[in-house]
Amino acid sequence: MGEQSLPIESQFSGGVIAIDGPSASGKSSTARAVADALGFAHLDSGSLYRGMTLVGLREMARRGIPGNDPARDLAPETLLRAAEDRGLMLQPDEGGFAAYLEGEPVDDELRSAEVTARVSAISAIPVVREWINARLRAMVRAGQNVVVDGRDIGTVVFPDADLKIFLTASAEARAGRRISQRGAAVQPERLDAEAAALAARDHADSTRAVAPLRPAPDAVHLDTTAMDFPEQVRFIVERARPIFGR
Ligand code: CDP
Q: What is the pLDDT of residues 201-223, one digit of tens each?
A: 999 999 999 999 999 999 999 99
CA dihedral 164, 42, 226, 108 (to 10 degrees): -140
Across 222-236, average pLDDT:
95
Which amino acid residue places its CA nearest to atom 23 of ligand 1?
Answer: 150
Closest CA to ligand 1's atom 2:
23
Q: Is the pLDDT of residue 197 over 80?
A: yes
The residues, any chain, with a CB within 8 Å of residue 80's CB and separated by 6 or more, are 127, 128, 131
Tens digit of each residue's pLDDT (9 = 90 or more) over 83-127: 999 999 999 887 678 999 999 999 999 999 999 999 999 999 999
DSSP 4: G
Q: Whose CA is nearest to atom 18 of ligand 1?
A: 46
Residue ranges around ligand 1 (CB below 6 Å): 23-24, 27-28, 45-46, 49-50, 119-120, 123, 150-153, 201, 205
Counting Cβ atoms within 10 Å, is residue 183 exposed (0-12), middle (13-18) or buried (19+)? Answer: exposed
Ligand 1, atom 13, residue with closest C-alpha: 120
What tens digit of pLDDT does each residue of 127-172 get? 999 999 999 999 898 888 999 999 999 999 999 999 999 999 999 9
Whole-number Å distance, alpha carbon 245 to ligand 1 midpoint, is 30
- Compute, in angstroms, the gap from residue 150 CA to the centroid of ligand 1: 6
List all residues 6 or more positions away from 241 whose beta carbon is below 8 Å from its beta carbon: 38
pLDDT score for 175: 94
Instruction: Ligand 1, residue 204: give the atom nearest the CA.
Output: 16
